Structures are given as C-alpha cells and as structure tokens.
C-alpha cells in the first residue's frame, strides 16, 4: 500500500456501502450529496486519489489537469460519457463503471411505464386528483398482443425483451451490433422497419458522441399512429421538441422520458423541459436505476473495483485501460506500470530488472489502443533506484509500487 493516505472524494449521494468498503480499506473518504461543476471540482480535486461520481459530474481535461494525485475514477452508474476517457488514460487514471448492477431496475421501470401509458393511467390519476370520476375503457389497452420495438439490444434491451415477451408482447429489436435474439424476439434490419411495426418504441442506446440527436423528426414521423415512445437511455439522443409536436398532434399517444439534455445539478433545483404539461407523458428525474437495491449493488461493485485497484492493481472491467488481474503471491513487491503502447517497453523494464539481479516472479501485460499496462511481481531486489529509472522512461505514464 502507498505510504501516503489514499484520499477519496465521492459525489452525488453514492450509497453508504461504498463509503464503508473504502473506509474499511483504510482510505480517507469524503462523501458529498450533490454534483460539482467544473470549477468546483477543480478546486476540490487536488490531493484526491480516487474520485467517485454518477451522471451529473463531468470530469473534463481541465479537471484531470488539476488532479495531481488521481489514479482512478469510479462511475457509480452505467454510462461513462461524462468522463474524458482518453485523456484520463493518457494521465494514468483508470476508470471503472457498473455496467450491470442497475439493469433490472431500469427494465422494471420501463415495463411499468409501458403498462401505465397503454392503460392511460397517468390521465386517470390526474383526473382523480382533480375530483373527476372518469370510469371509461376508451383508449385503454392490454399490453398482451402488442408489439414492443427495442432500439439498442444490450444488457438492458435484452432483459426487457425477455420480460416483455413473458407479458405476451411481440418483441422487435434493432441494433447496429450483431446481437443474438432472445426468446421469440425478431431482429429488424433497419430502424424504419422497427418503427413501422411497433406499438411501443423504447430507446436503450449508449452515450457515445455519435448518438447525439440519434432520434428525431423523421423517426417520430415513421412511428405508427397512436404509438408510444420511451427514452431511458441518454437525454441528448432525442429531439424533444419534435416529440412534443407529435404528441400535440395526436400522432404519438404518449411518452415516458427519464433523461434530458440538460438536467438540474441538485435535488430540488428547477427542471425545465419542453415536455412539461403534456397529457399521458411520464417525466421522471433520471431515476431509471435509482432503486435502493440497484444503488447498493452499484456502490458495492464500483467501490470494490477502486479498492482492488489500489491494493493489487487489478483493472478487470476497466473502461479505458487494459483489463488485467494477476493473482498476488505472498512476499512480493508489485510494480504497476501504465505506459504508452509502443514497441520495446516490456523489454526495457525487464532489462532494468535483470541488470540489477531482480528475478520476476510473475508478470502480465495488456494493451488497449495507445495505452499499455504491465503488472510485475518480484520477491526481492527492486530498489528505489530501479523504480526511479522505470519512472523516468519516456514511455511511462504512471508507475505505482505496491508492497
């Protein structure tokens, strides 16, 4: 373990179990409820070794430049588009996320919204609160026998496919990647095919920059008359002005939206959107994965990844550096080297060790794009002078020593 204390900064109400895991590892943990903007984070990041965020805090190149001790970032959520991943890797900062922990929560919310919109429960609920008794079946339907179109057939899309089929829905999906259809789901060869055949369209795409404005006017126009639309993926992928126009015209019968291009930083701040005030539209404050069960699982998973990275250098499931996990032998010293991925680095490291009589007990190398990662264990003989020479190599990005 490093001699200096490992300082941890957690933002955005990360689950207490994460605090407990990191504190139990001997780290100094500071946990804040809200997000920080760029200027605020620049002021707080100095001296921090581990940073934990959710979706509202953005880790920019300016933040990374101010981070003098940062070695890892934990995104306590699925998405990592709020982090400059390449810039982080270039500065020796490893990033982890939670790609599976809140999948079930998002899927259950999507199912509940599909049923609520199909039965028009939002409108019945609003009328009841106004004292109006409107007992009528007009416009209300069962989901059984209706067709669900899933755009994005990843972890969430596939699980939603299975549950929707169990409810008696027909399932179509479209994905740019080659995905295996589960159950009786049918793959569509184009978005146009899916939109023209679906009673409900739901988006589950990722946050890559190329998905900005992914779904717009032409796509809404291609949807079936009276169909429903859901977005529980990313706010910037949809043209919400176009959605409003199609709801007001009656072409789209209802919608459920959980994510927005601009979201308030803190609980209680004003929410502004062109979708406010529309009938049969469910608006939620980015809570698709916000169940107590999911947040606990995410807290435990990501905190464990951060702890293991500090203790053993394990980068398994990292999103921006090679994923390696080398079992630790007792009594060894471990060198953790992030370096530029050019030929000859491993040979130079091993040459320095061999020239000084250091025997390598175990070693693992991985590369990913422009970054390489080497984990090296030695039983004895690795002196500070050797460490300094490896650190001075022009290809070295970051070198840590774990005893």
Q: Contact at 8 Å (CB) between 72 and 91?
A: no
Catalytic residue among 44, 234, 246, 307: 234
CA 110/CA 200 separation, integer angstroms: 11
Q: Contact at 8 Å (CB) between 283 and 276?
A: yes
Catalytic residue among 244, 286, 307, 339: 286
Q: Is 246 a catalytic residue?
A: no
Q: Contact at 8 Å (CB) between 358 and 386?
A: yes
Q: Is 234 a catalytic residue?
A: yes
Strands of 32-71 (E only): list them: 50-53
CA 398/CA 93 separation, integer angstroms: 9
CA gyration radius, the chain? 25
CA 260/CA 307 separation, integer angstroms: 32
DSSP, residue by residue, 199-234: SEEEE-----GGGTT-B-HHHHHHSPTTEEEEE-S-
Q: Contact at 8 Å (CB) between 288 and 54?
A: no
Catalytic residue among 38, 165, 217, 263: 263
Q: Is 286 a catalytic residue?
A: yes
Q: Which positions are catalytic?
A: 234, 263, 286
């Amino acid at each position: 373990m490093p001699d200096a204390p490992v300082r941890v900064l957690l933002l955005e109400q990360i689950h207490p179990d994460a605090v407990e895991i990191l504190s139990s590892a001997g780290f100094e943990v500071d946990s804040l409820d809200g997000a920080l903007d760029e200027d605020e984070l620049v002021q707080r990041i100095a001296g921090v070794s581990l940073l934990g965020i959710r979706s509202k805090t953005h880790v920019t190149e300016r933040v990374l430049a101010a981070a003098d001790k940062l070695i890892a970032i934990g995104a306590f959520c699925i998405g990592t588009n709020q982090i400059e991943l390449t810039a982080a890797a270039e500065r020796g900062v490893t990033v982890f996320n939670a790609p599976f922990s809140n999948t079930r929560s998002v899927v259950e919310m999507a199912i509940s919204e599909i049923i609520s919109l199909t039965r028009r429960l939002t409108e019945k609920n609003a009328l009841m609160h106004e004292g109006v008794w409107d007992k009528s079946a007009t416009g209300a339907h069962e989901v059984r026998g209706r067709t669900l179109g899933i755009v994005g057939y990843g972890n969430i899309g596939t699980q939603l496919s299975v549950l929707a089929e169990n409810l008696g829905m027909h399932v179509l999906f479209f994905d740019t990647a080659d995905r295996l259809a589960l159950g009786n789901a049918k793959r569509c060869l184009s978005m146009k095919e899916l939109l023209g055949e679906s009673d409900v369209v739901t988006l589950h795409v990722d946050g890559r920059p190329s998905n900005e404005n992914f779904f717009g006017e032409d796509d809404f126009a291609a949807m079936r008359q009276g169909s429903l639309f859901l977005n529980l993926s990313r706010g910037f992928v949809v043209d919400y002005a176009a959605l409003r126009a199609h709801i007001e015209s009656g072409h789209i019968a209802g919608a459920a939206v959980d994510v927005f291009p601009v979201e308030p930083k803190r609980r209680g701040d004003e929410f502004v959107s062109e979708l406010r005030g529309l009938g049969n539209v469910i608006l939620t404050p980015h809570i698709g994965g916000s169940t107590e069960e999911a947040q606990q699982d995410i807290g435990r998973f990501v905190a464990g990844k951060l702890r293991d990275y500090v203790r053993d250098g394990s980068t398994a499931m990292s999103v921006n550096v090679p994923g390696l996990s080398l079992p630790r032998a007792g009594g060894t010293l471990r060198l953790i080297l992030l370096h530029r991925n050019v030929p000859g680095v491993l040979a130079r490291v091993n040459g320095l060790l061999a020239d000084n009589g250091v025997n390598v007990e175990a070693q693992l190398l991985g590369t990913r794009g422009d970054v390489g990662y080497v984990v090296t264990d030695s039983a004895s003989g690795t002196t500070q002078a050797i460490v300094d020479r490896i650190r001075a190599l022009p290809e070295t990005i970051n070198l840590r020593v774990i005893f």
